[in-house]
Amino acid sequence: MTVAASQKHEVTLPEGVSLRRVAQVLLDAWEADPRRWMNAPAQLREGPSPAPAMPVPQDALDLFRLLAERRVDYLLIGGLAMLTYVKGRNTKDVDLLLSLEASREIPELEILERQDFFARAQFRSVQVDLLFTFNPLFKTVAEKFATVHSFAELNVPAATVEGLIVLKLYALPSLYRQFQMDRAALYENDITMLIANHSPALEPLIAQASHDMEPGDKEELKKIISECTGRAKLLRQRSGQ
């Protein structure tokens, strides 16, 4: 993405913004994807990998319109939901939390890969990541941590600040075990920014996210939250809040 483009498109999704801004976020992330560029260092080492297809803005708009028209029970989560609360980074996909049955209400949503409570899908040119509510924690988030974000065209059900923190805390132990350090660092930064901007009560969220975890993972989450809280406090101090 060029400097001019980043200045033109502020990465945030405030109340009342058009859904076209969602489409622009996806497109900006596609433009910044290093896999688009030939002879990138990773390609020179490992050989070329297929470049991701460009998301068509109208496809993103149509996805949310179909979800509304068919009264699908879902929550927007992930990067796009983050952008309704804080300024942040672009994201290349749409993340939805819903039941397996609800996902079948959109047969145009092609499931490409499924593992446990997760699936990667494609809606025309748009990548869609799905979390299914037969995971008890995901079901709890859907039931207890839901709100509505008003776009210009329609209202979109979305996870609350607390719901996003719970989901990210739940994912972190697995990310570290899989050595997905870059993604874990992004999640910790997301948690820090949510704390800095919204000051949620954290103890109940740690308890919710770690309910079925091993004792070691529970203690690690407490350390992570302590570190995120410390960084959030410094950010507020340095910005004069």
All structural domains of the chain with their residue ranges:
9-35+52-159, 161-241
Q: Place 88 in a pLDDT band, splitting at 50, 70 and 90.
A: confident
Residues 100 and 103: their CA atoms lie apart, in Å, by: 5
Average pLDDT, the chain: 89
**Is it the case that residue 217 has pLDDT exceeding 70?**
yes
CA-to-CA separations, 111 to 96, 101, 126, 158, 214, in angstroms, rounded: 13, 13, 12, 22, 32
Residues 88 and 80: their CA atoms lie apart, in Å, by: 9
Q: DSSP for 119-135?
A: EEEEETTEEEEEEETTS
The neighbouring-strand residues paired with 148 are: 157
Mean pLDDT, rounded, for 68-76: 97
Burial bucket for residue 162 (CB in 10 Å: 0-12, 13-18, 19+): buried
- Whether the CA torsion 206, 209, 212, 216 is positive or negative: it is negative
- Asked which of 5-19, 73-87, 171-185, 222-236 is least confident by mean pLDDT, the reply is 5-19
Q: What is the pLDDT of residue 34?
A: 65
Q: What is the pLDDT of residue 41?
A: 43
Q: Where are the beta strands (DSSP E) in 69-203?
A: 74-77, 93-98, 109-115, 118-123, 126-132, 146-150, 155-159
Question: What single-letter amino acid sits at 115?
Answer: Q
Report yes or no on whether pTM surpasses 0.85: yes
Q: Where are the beta strands (DSSP E) in 143-204?
A: 146-150, 155-159
3-state class (DSSP) for residue 157:
strand
Q: Place 89 in a pLDDT band, splitting at 50, 70 and 90.
A: confident
**Is it the case that residue 39 has pLDDT exceeding 70?**
no
Q: What is the pLDDT of residue 8?
A: 43
Burial bucket for residue 171 (CB in 10 Å: 0-12, 13-18, 19+): middle
Nearest Cα neighbor of 170 from 217, 104, 233, 228 is: 217
Q: Do 61 and 23 contact (CB within 8 A), yes or no?
A: yes
Kindly report the CATH class assigned to 9-35+52-159. Answer: alpha beta
Mean pLDDT, rounded, for 51-59: 81
Q: Place 90 in a pLDDT band, splitting at 50, 70 and 90.
A: confident
Residues 169 and 6: their CA atoms lie apart, in Å, by: 29
Residues 84 and 14: their CA atoms lie apart, in Å, by: 6
Tell me the pLDDT tens digit for each residue of 91-150: 999 999 999 999 999 999 999 999 999 999 999 999 999 999 999 999 999 999 999 999
Q: What is the dihedral of CA 42, 47, 49, 51, to 10 degrees?
A: 70
Mean pLDDT, rounded, for 6-30: 82
Tell me the pLDDT tens digit for each residue of 142-188: 999 999 999 999 999 999 999 999 999 999 999 999 999 999 999 99
